[in-house]
Amino acid sequence: MINHIPVLLKEVLYYLNPKPGENFIDCTIGFGGHTFEIAKRIAPNGKVLGIELDKEVLKKTRLQASSFKFGKNIILHNGNFTDLKNIVAKYNFSPVNGVLFDLGMSSWHLEKSGRGFSFLRDEPLLMNYELNNRLTAIEIVNHWHKKDLIKIFREYGEEKYSKRIAEEIIKQRKNKPIITTFQLVEIVREAVPRRYRYKRTHFATRIFQALRIAVNDELSNLQKALFEALKVLSPEGRLVIISFHSLEDRIVKNFFKQQNKLGNLKILTKKPVVPTKEEIRKNRRSRSAKLRAGVKQ
């Protein structure tokens, strides 16, 4: 059993408000923390359609679901949530009473996937959730132009030393390919001012975030998926999104505002809902989570 603590679980259940016989979609099922709790509340006749991009993760979740009391209420699908409309059509999944996105990265990806998501482990610099994805962080740091590196570091990482770091990458890759996480960490260390190396947030955090977003096209995919989610939702269906950094939250906030103006969505959260001190104490990775919720009109 994977030791997975779902973020803002109480709040997710409050805003989704699952009832027996209703149907929900978890667009980012991961290890099923939210889905399993929803499944308990919609039994015996409701269904949860869980979508997961990572085949390895889905394989583990499928195993857990097979021994779960309400596993028969869960449908699992390997795919990208940008294809939500077609996935819903494939399973003839209707009506849809609620859609959930939990955009956080699992501890498993950081600690056990071996794909270079963490700067604390010496691993191949891959960062791809979808194993068939040909683009990796190795490709980006070794072959992208300096201006493109600066662009993703600034836009996706909000890194103030983007230019210096990009220049150091260009310089170092001429000597030998950059293929591991620790190689990249050392390059970033060399590029940033000494005082920057000892701040509370690790000096490589923003660069790793930027590369992960670029490899998986995360922001563009989120924008597409939000529109798809609104389309598949039934009237009065609930949309709940948990984001973990300002770039994601800005996209969600603007989408909610836009759809509210158009009369398509009633916003339930005037301000984003954040974890309690107690939850952060129990699960430190929840500290940056922000939840926004709405109802389709």
Domain finish residue from 154, 185, 216: 216
- Strand 238-243 and strand 290-296: pairing? antiparallel
Per the domain annotation, does 1 fall within a domain? Answer: no
Mean pLDDT, the chain, as a whole number?
Answer: 95
Same-domain check for residues 209 and 222: no
Amino acid at position 84, single letter: L
pLDDT of residue 10: 97
Last residue of a domain, one of 170, 200, 216: 216
Of residues 60, 179, 173, 78, the one with CA closest to residue 127:
179
Name the domain count of the chain: 2
Q: What is the structure's pLDDT at 285?
A: 85
How confident is the model over 60-65, as a mean pLDDT?
93
Q: For residue 23, tell me if it sits in a domain.
A: yes
Q: In this structure, are 27 and 103 located in the same domain?
A: yes
Flag whether pLDDT at 91 surpasses 80.
yes
> pLDDT (tens digit, 9 = 90+) per residue, 189-217?
999 999 999 888 899 999 999 999 999 99
| Domain identity same for 54 and 120 | no
**12 CB-near residues (< 8 Å, 6+ apart):** 6, 34, 100, 102, 240, 242, 291
CATH of the domain at 246: 3.40.50.150
Band of pLDDT at residue 284, cut at 50, 70 and 90: confident
Contact 128, 216 (CB under 8 A): yes
What is the CATH classification number for the domain harbouring 152?
Answer: 1.10.150.170
Judge whether 231 and 259 are in contact, CB under 8 Å. no
19 and 69 in a single domain? The answer is: yes
Structural domain containing residue 264: 9-108+218-296
Asked if 99 and 246 sit in the same domain, the reply is yes
Asked whether residue 204 falls in the same domain as residue 223, the answer is no
Entry field: residues in the chain:
297
Residues in a beta bridge with 290: 243
For residue 260, count other CB atoms closer than 10 A to its CB. Answer: 14
Q: Do both 143 and 270 map to the same domain? A: no
pLDDT value at residue 4: 67
